[in-house]
Amino acid sequence: MITILNREGTPLVPGPTLLNRLERAIAIALDAHAGQRSQSGEPYVLHPLRVMLRLATDDEKIAGVLHDVVARSPAWTLRRLAKEGFSPTIVDTVDALSRRDGETYGAYIARASANELARRVKIADLEDKLESVRTDRRAKKFRNALSVLRMGP
């Protein structure tokens, strides 16, 4: 039996009702993004859920819904995701999708592009962001990143 704990250390979803890896990933995203808002004011968790829905395979969907967990929630780390039972592939992908302190956006996109699963997730992430972007400058930044990602490593 696997139990996922929230930030306070209490069970997020009790007992065996949470068996599926994707369901666990969704529950973690809900916990990690609780109370967070997007720039438009909607619950932030809707973004990773939309990214997940753009993707096809289980690993893509899991990485998609988890893609911002480490970057946006100090309670969730790569190590904690590994302890939750996510595969090294998923953990490495979330790592590739987490921008480092001091890393330029271009270097981040190049690093994400080098991981095939991260590349596919980042494309879905940027496609979702482009649908709600508010400034031409951000739209241009996202379109340029998409071009790099679509070319591959």
pTM here? Answer: 0.85
> In the predicted model, what is the mean pLDDT of residues 108-129?
97
**Which one has a higher pLDDT value, 29 or 138?**
29
Alpha-carbon distance 110 to 62, whole Å?
A: 22
71-107 residue pLDDT tens: 999 999 999 999 998 999 999 999 999 999 999 999 9
The H or E element containing residue 109 is helix 105-113
CATH code, domain carrying 120? 1.10.3210.10
Token match 């080098």: residue? 114
Q: 82: exposed, middle or buried (C-beta count within 10 Å: 0-12, 13-18, 19+)?
A: middle
Q: 64 with 104: CB under 8 angstroms?
A: no
State the residue range of the domain holding 104: 4-151
Residue 18 has pLDDT above 50, yes or no: no
Domain count across the chain: 1
**Which one has a higher pLDDT value, 141 or 39?**
141
1-16 residue pLDDT tens: 456 666 677 666 544 3
Q: What pLDDT score does 14 carry?
A: 46
**Which one has a higher pLDDT value, 57 or 8?**
57
Which residues fall within 8 angstroms of residue 92, CB to CB, at 6 or more apart? 115
